[in-house]
Amino acid sequence: MAKVQVVFHIDEMEKWGLLLNNVQNLIHGLAGTDSRIEVVANSKAVEFYRAAANTNGTGLALKLAEAGVDFAACGNALRGLKIEPEELLPFIRTVPSGVLELVKRQQAGYAYLKP
Amino acid sequence: MAKVQVVFHIDEMEKWGLLLNNVQNLIHGLAGTDSRIEVVANSKAVEFYRAAANTNGTGLALKLAEAGVDFAACGNALRGLKIEPEELLPFIRTVPSGVLELVKRQQAGYAYLKP
Amino acid sequence: MAKVQVVFHIDEMEKWGLLLNNVQNLIHGLAGTDSRIEVVANSKAVEFYRAAANTNGTGLALKLAEAGVDFAACGNALRGLKIEPEELLPFIRTVPSGVLELVKRQQAGYAYLKP
């Protein structure tokens, strides 16, 4: 199989459990394949990235980040919710615009998934 | 960056606020880039396009349309909801099938976003 | 129009009515065009595929399958919900991973739709 590139989109807090499960299944299904997996959170879903959110699932997110998954936060959403970069979990990357990130990735050949 | 082409998909009334905010952020992030942004509404989301709906957000939609965003309504959905073309806001374009429009755009290289 | 290839994604039971309606409209809009339409269900949406579910809509799903639509079930989701392959409607194809199937299809040029 050709190199696999996937970008996941999430904008609702309630979808994190489903999304992380999807990512985990994808990694398992890809075992050994050259791949790039990115998760882009915008709107209220960025709240999950706050270290203080103590949300179920941040442990799994960290494990997936250590397995190479790239977690990105929308800078517009962070600003709107008054979340400071230093409040985020340490493995989160901030991008200026979540939607623009999603568009750029698709232009670069990434598949798009919205759980 | 290469020419940016994006099609947004909406089929639920409750998602209009999020979608219009996403479009606005994308336009801001693209400032000056050659781009095409289209919004395709099908199912119950076409109700937003009725001039008489008086929905919050139609003012922002008009502003975005003036900035070049192309708003399309699914003809199947309009028929199903018995909405006549003349009831629509003046800047709405009707397409025969919303899903077919979304497919054609992706085939033409548009990125797909479902807020 | 070029050959049309589309993959629909569903992960919530409540979306089946909307999805099947979208597929039906797409088939109608494509009348006579060379096309491939696939529906990939993962997470809780695979429950719809159980013959014993007696869900409204399985009649329409059968009709669409007879018209050439390929219905796939995520094997991970079936295992998680303890649904055995022999419990499924006879026209369902099981794939190891729903998300991987969705990625592979997009890599093969399929448009992605999430109703």
Residue C22 distance to chain B (closest CA, Å)? 7
Mean pLDDT for chain C? 94
Rounded mean pLDDT of C36-48?
97
**SS3 of residue A50 by DSSP:** strand
Closest CA to C114 of C42, C27, C33, C28: C42
For residue A114, the model assigns a pLDDT of: 98
Tokens 């139609």 correspond to what residue? B58
Q: Flag whether pLDDT at C1 surpasses 70.
A: no
Q: Flag whether pLDDT at C56 surpasses 80.
A: no
B33 has a chain A CB within 8 A of its CB: no
Predicted confidence band at C60 (pLDDT cuts at 50, 70, 90)?
Answer: very high
| Lowest mean pLDDT segment, chosen from A81-90, B54-63, B72-81, C15-24 | B54-63
B4 CB neighbours in chain A (<8 A) are 103, 107
| Closest A-chain CA to B109 | A107
Identify the residue among C10, C22, C35 best suited for mutation to test binding to B, counting B beta carbons within 10 A and taking the highest.
C22
Q: Which residues are CB-neighbours of B27 under 8 A, at least 6 positions away?
A: B35, B37, B64, B67, B69
B95 CB neighbours in chain C (<8 A) are none
Check if the interface score ipTM surpasses 0.85. Answer: yes
Among C42, C103, C114, the residue with its CB nearest the CB of A6 is: C103
Q: Which residue has the higher pLDDT, A65 or B56?
A: A65
Predicted confidence band at B57 (pLDDT cuts at 50, 70, 90)?
Answer: confident
A27 has a chain C CB within 8 A of its CB: no
> What sign has the CA pseudo-torsion B93, B97, B101, B104?
negative
Q: Do A103 and B2 touch (CB under 8 A)?
A: no
Predicted confidence band at B65 (pLDDT cuts at 50, 70, 90)?
Answer: very high
Q: Which residue has the higher pLDDT, C54 or B7?
A: B7
Q: Which residue has the higher pLDDT, B110 or A56?
A: B110
Q: Flag whether pLDDT at C96 surpasses 80.
A: yes
Predicted confidence band at A1 (pLDDT cuts at 50, 70, 90)?
Answer: low
Closest CA to C103 of B105, A25, B41: A25
| Closest B-chain CA to A74 | B25
Terminal C-alpha separation, chain A: 23
State what percent of residues in chain A have pLDDT above 90: 84
The winner for highest mean pLDDT among A50-64, C42-56, C59-73 is: C59-73
State what percent of residues in chain B have pLDDT above 70: 99
B29 has a chain A CB within 8 A of its CB: yes
CB C57 within 8 A of CB C22: no
The type of residue at C73 is A
Q: Do B103 and C6 touch (CB under 8 A)?
A: yes
A113 CB neighbours in chain C (<8 A) are 9, 99, 102-103, 112
Q: Flag whether pLDDT at C23 surpasses 70.
A: yes
B98 CB neighbours in chain C (<8 A) are 25
Identify the residue among A24, A113, A114 best suited for mutation to test binding to C, counting C beta carbons within 10 A and taking the highest.
A113
A15 CB neighbours in chain B (<8 A) are none
Q: Flag whether pLDDT at C53 surpasses 80.
A: no
Beta-sheet strands, E only, within A1-115: 4-10, 35-41, 70-74, 92-95, 111-113
Mean pLDDT for chain B? 94
> What pTM value is reported for the model?
0.96
Rounded mean pLDDT of C44-73?
91
Q: Flag whether pLDDT at C110 surpasses 70.
A: yes
For residue B1, the model assigns a pLDDT of: 60
> What sign has the CA pseudo-torsion A25, A27, A28, A34?
positive
